[in-house]
Amino acid sequence: MHAINPDEVEFTAIRAQGAGGQNVNKVSSAMHLRFDIAASSLPLAVKERLLALGDQRITDAGVVVIKAQQHRSQDMNRAEALQRLQELVDRAAFVPKTRRPTKPTRGSQIRRVDAKIQRGRIKALRGRGGSDDSP
């Protein structure tokens, strides 16, 4: 996990959208977070994976833009935006294990072919009307 330096994050207070009555019209409680990936102190490998994520919150210029407006207070929206950014960085920091191709064992190959032959014999017995003395 790579911690995000708070100095590299830019916050802007904006008015929230949606219902909320007078509070929404008066108070700028929503937070707009901007995080420039290229200018950050993250390791180069994490930066590359972050840019390759294809997330809609990452602009073509390589800036992460997150809008948090869930809560009524700026502090809670700021914390939520930072948490979402941290989750995005953590997802990019995770390196999946490389798959090493393997071959099926000889015994499993023989069992598979034997099962196919047996199944074919069962199917071959279908639809053959009974005994030979019928017209």
**57 domain residue, yes or no:** yes
The pLDDT tens digits of the residues spanning 121-132 come to: 999 999 776 555
Other CB atoms within a 10 A radius of the CB of residue 25 amount to 9
The two three-digit tokens of residue 119, written as one number: 């199944």
pLDDT for 84 equals: 93
Number of residues that make up the chain: 135
* pLDDT over 70, % of the chain: 90
Question: What is the number of domains present in the chain?
Answer: 1
**133 domain residue, yes or no:** no
pLDDT for 107 equals: 97
pLDDT for 131 equals: 56
CATH number, position 20? 3.30.160.20
**101 domain residue, yes or no:** no
**132 domain residue, yes or no:** no
- Give the domain extent around 65: 6-93
* pLDDT over 90, % of the chain: 40
Nearest to 71 by CA among 61, 81, 63: 81
Sort 73 into a burial class: Cβ within 10 Å, 0-12 / 13-18 / 19+.
exposed
The pLDDT tens digits of the residues spanning 2-51 come to: 888 888 888 988 888 877 677 767 778 889 999 998 888 888 988 888 88
**38 domain residue, yes or no:** yes
**17 domain residue, yes or no:** yes
**122 domain residue, yes or no:** no
92 or 116, higher pLDDT:
116
**63 domain residue, yes or no:** yes
The two three-digit tokens of residue 132, written as one number: 């030979």
Would you place residue 65 in the very low, low, confident or very high pLDDT band (cuts 50, 70, 90)? very high
